[in-house]
A and B are shown apart, each in its own frame.
Chain A
Amino acid sequence: GQNIDQPTEMTATEGAIVQINCTYQTSGFNGLFWYQQHAGEAPTFLSYNVLDGLEEKGRFSSFLSRSKGYSYLLLKELQMKDSASYLCAVNSNYQLIWGAGTKLIIKP
């Protein structure tokens, strides 16, 4: 079967760093997406990894290890507006398989 695992909920402090992990077991792999979804809003694109390694984009970075079936999203200098759900999605044989999402709570 196809499976994507993410922690259900994480809590972090404003100004700190947090790492959200995503592990996947899928029949195929053509890339991995991270999306951010604020409560009551639509998901918005954050990053896309196809090759192993780290992709940095401002305060957000995403890492991929295809051999380990593992990715993480790193958020630095956390702000209150980063409170949201973070969704990991794998392109498996050209169909997106989504994780259930990680709800990130930022405390002052």
Chain B
Amino acid sequence: KAGVTQTPRYLIKTRGQQVTLSCSPISGHRSVSWYQQTPGQGLQFLFEYFSETQRNKGNFPGRFSGRQFSNSRSEMNVSTLELGDSALYLCASSQRQGATDTQYFGPGTRLTVL
């Protein structure tokens, strides 16, 4: 079975721009969660989608948004980029909704904002 894939792997943007990241979960997995990881901060939960509906949301500003398609693929959008948005963005998929299931992580998208 193919693992979780994320595109692109690396991205360089400038302040004020917007960016869209993509995540394809493991086949059969209906839940996709997004995380931001920065050195020393650990994983910060952004949001979770299950069956095309946002089920849970972390404490991030409205500039961060996402969606999930009928094939469970998910996209995350960040508008009006700030320097502090530079981070590794990870998505994780699981079969069931919520945090009760093992999550399988993709390799991440490393976003650099200049």
Residues of A at under 8 Å CB distance from B?
A: 30-31, 33, 41-45, 48, 87, 89, 91-92, 94-101
Q: Dominant SS at the A interface? A: strand
Q: Dominant SS at the B interface? A: mixed
> Which of B33, B40, B44, B102 has the most A CB atoms < 10 Å from its CB?
B102
Residues of B at under 8 Å CB distance from A?
A: 4, 33, 35, 40-45, 48, 56, 58, 90, 97-100, 102-108
Contact: A91 with B100, CB < 8 Å?
Answer: yes
Report B-chain residues with C-beta under 8 Å of the C-beta of A31.
Answer: 99-100
Which residue of the partner chain B has the closest CB to A97? B45
Q: In angstroms, how far is the closest chain B Cβ from the Cβ of A77?
A: 24
User: A43-B90, A95-B98, A100-B42 provided; 10 other pairs, C-beta below 8 A?
Assistant: A42-B105, A43-B43, A43-B105, A44-B105, A94-B97, A95-B45, A96-B103, A98-B42, A98-B45, A100-B41
| Bound Cα distance from A14 to B82, whole angstroms | 43
